[in-house]
Homo-oligomer: A and B are copies of this chain.
Amino acid sequence: MPDETKRTAGPAIYAIDPWVPGKPRVRHQLLSDDERTLLAKIASIVRFNKGEHIYHDGDAADAVFNIINGVVTALAEGEHVMSFLYQGDLFGLSEEGHYSNAARAATSVVAYKIPLPALRRILDKNADLDVDLIVKLCEDLRLAQRHALLLAQKKAATKLAMFLELQEHLQLARGEPALEIYLPMDRSSIAAYLGVTLAALSRAFRTLVSKQIISSRNRHHIKILDRNALNRLADARSNET
């Protein structure tokens, strides 16, 4: 787990270039140092334990969050996992003063909490932040569409393969080494993200392991042994009639 005491200049918004399979690129910081210190002034630092809810669907929304450290699970109604959020990710988008989804700490989490009114004031003064926001929204949209593509797959093994490739890509984009794929969330969260039951996910893992496509050092560390086979499984086009 990364060093929690790392120095930061303030909130950070990273955006990852769009996913062109096979061409991972590093995400870059959208905010200037000035913007970050500006935001840091109005932000407070908050901590959450693993499993703790950060906010619930429908709660009055008074702030957005920016992850310093840890992993957050974004949930829709009915415990569906919409996305996993990492360092630098921004979450807590609200509609009409209420959060439109729930958020839960998948690991222990440290985050900036940025009060909405203050954020709004700064946004009004800094036209540049608008553009950043657009870039960020585009990225979220791409990820949501990719998630939909994953969910549309019919076989659990295909979904898992797509998930692993996505996680590896995001990991690379974050600048972390990717010899192994690190899966901080637990199996049931992954199952909820893939839209399958825990049992089906477990079987899918076993299938990939027994076919020697992946191996697992432990529950949170996966290694890809046969990338071609994984690609073939994950390629949506090859799984159509």
Which residues of A are in contact with B by a Cβ distance under 8 Å? 17-18, 76-80, 82, 93, 95-96, 100-101, 127, 130-131, 133-134, 137-138, 140-142, 144-145, 147-149, 151-154, 192, 195, 236-237, 239-240
Contacts and interface: CB of A to CB of B under 8 A. Distances in A.
A69 B183 CA distance: 46
Contacts of A18: 95-96, 100
Contact of A137 (B77, B100, B127, B141): B141
A76 B96 CA distance: 32
A199 to B, nearest CB: 12
Contact of A149 (B80, B93, B154, B239): B80
Given A18-B95, A77-B236, A237-B77, A82 B148 contact: yes
28 contacts: A18-B95, A18-B96, A76-B145, A76-B149, A77-B237, A78-B149, A78-B236, A78-B237, A78-B239, A80-B149, A80-B152, A82-B145, A93-B138, A127-B127, A127-B130, A134-B134, A134-B137, A140-B141, A141-B141, A144-B144, A144-B145, A144-B147, A144-B148, A148-B151, A151-B151, A151-B195, A153-B195, A154-B195
A163 to B, nearest CB: 13
